């Protein structure tokens, strides 16, 4: 493992810049700086930002509060990408302005699905039996 990597093998720099981009986007959206009706009427969580190794691309995972109108929110973010990119570039000091790509964060849905599976009676019964071993 190299000195500047986490145990998962990700560069500390990539994680740090990703977190700076996440904070900048969260702040922009929270303050209502994007003049868009869809974004103004929805609370949007920026759950994660993954940076490319060259820091030129950022994949932004978002989730509207309560999952309301997720498609419309993603579309509004994509429509306002140029403004968001310029604002992030102004706030996060990197050599290049990262190109932003917005995706819905499916991790919450996956977690709910796994939780529902584990609560099924036949699976729960099998899990209880293993705890005794």
Q: Give the pLDDT mean for 77-86.
A: 96
Q: How many domains does the chain have?
A: 1
Banded pLDDT at 84 (limits 50, 70, 90): very high
Q: Is residue 118 part of a domain?
A: no
Label residue 22 by pLDDT band (50, 70, 90). very high
Residue 105 has pLDDT above 60, yes or no: yes
Asked, for residue 126, whether it belongs to a domain, the answer is no
Q: Assign 49 to helix, strand or coil.
A: strand
| Within-domain flag for 117 | no
Does 89 map to a domain? yes
pLDDT greater than 70 at residue 133:
no
- pLDDT computed for residue 102 by the predictor: 96
Least Cα distance to 55 among 7, 8, 13, 26 occurs for 13
* CATH code of the domain in which 82 resides: 3.30.300.20
What is the rounded CA–CA span in Å between residue 80 and residue 103? 14
Q: What is the pLDDT of residue 4?
A: 58
Asked if residue 130 belongs to a domain, the reply is no
Q: Is 52 within the bounds of a domain?
A: yes
CA nearest to 57, candidates 21, 83, 13, 32: 21
- Establish if 5 belongs to a structural domain: no
Residue 128 lies in a domain: no
Please give the C-alpha separations between residue 16 and each of 45, 79, 110, in angstroms, as whole numbers.
18, 27, 26
Domain residue limits at 36: 12-105
Beta-strand pair 57-64/44-51: antiparallel
How confident is the model over 28-72, as pLDDT tens digits?
A: 999 999 999 999 998 999 999 999 999 999 999 999 987 678 899
Mean pLDDT of 6-26: 85
* 112 vs 93, residue with greater confidence: 93
How far is residue 100's CA from residue 83's CA, in Å, rounded to a whole number? Answer: 11
């Amino acid at each position: 493992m190299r000195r500047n990597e986490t145990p998962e093998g990700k560069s500390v720099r990539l994680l740090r810049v990703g977190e700076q981009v996440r904070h900048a986007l969260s702040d922009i959206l929270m303050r209502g700086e994007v003049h868009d009706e869809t974004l103004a009427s929805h609370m949007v969580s920026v759950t994660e930002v993954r940076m490319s190794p060259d820091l030129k691309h950022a994949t932004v995972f978002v989730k509207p509060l309560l999952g309301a109108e997720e498609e419309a929110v993603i579309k509004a973010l994509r429509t306002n990408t140029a403004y968001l990119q310029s604002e992030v570039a102004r706030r996060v000091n990197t050599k290049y302005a990262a190109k932003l790509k917005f995706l819905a964060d499916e991790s919450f849905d996956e977690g709910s699905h796994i939780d529902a599976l584990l609560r099924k009676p036949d699976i729960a019964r099998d899990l209880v039996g293993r705890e005794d071993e």
